[in-house]
Amino acid sequence: MDPFQNYTVAIEEIHHLQKLDAPSGTAISLAQQIISNSRKEGWQLDHAEENEIPITAKREENVPGTHTVSYNSDIDSIEIKHTAHSREGFALGAIIAAEWIRDKKGVFSMRDVLQNLT
C-alpha cells in the first residue's frame, strides 16, 4: 500500500480484560512488518505522528483476540481482520512450539516454528 499515499494505516487490537500488555505482541509484529515495507518509521500507542502507525489497544470482556489493520482514504477503507473465537488456537500453537523446540538450543520465534512445519 506504500505507493498509495492517500491512504492512512492504523492497527486496532482487542483482547480480554486479563491481558495486561498493550499493545499486544501481534499488533507490534504487524506494525513492524508494515514499517519494513513502507515509509513509516515507527508506531505509537493511540496518538501517532504522521510518520508513525497508530495502534489502538482495547480490553473487553470475553475477547480472545481481534486484530485489524485498516487503510483509510477519503474514497474508501480497506481492512484486514483476524478474529479468534476461542483461545484454543493459541493453546495448540503453544503445544506445537513446545514439541518443535524440544532438543534445540538457541533463541527462536514463532516464525521459526511455523516455517519449519512443512
**Which positions ≥6 away from 84 have C-beta within 8 Å?**
64, 65, 66, 90
Is 16 part of the annotated catalytic residue set? Answer: no
Cell numbers describing residue 84:
479468534
Cell numbers describing residue 111:
516464525
Here the contacts of 87-94 (C-beta below 8 Å, separation 24 or greater) are 90/64, 90/65
User: Catalytic: which of 15, 58, 67, 105?
Assistant: 15
User: Catalytic: which of 16, 19, 58, 82?
Assistant: 19
Is 105 part of the annotated catalytic residue set? Answer: no
- Using DSSP's 3-state secondary structure scheme, residue 39 falls into coil
CA 60 to CA 67: how far, in whole Å?
A: 13
Residues annotated catalytic, as ranges:
15, 19
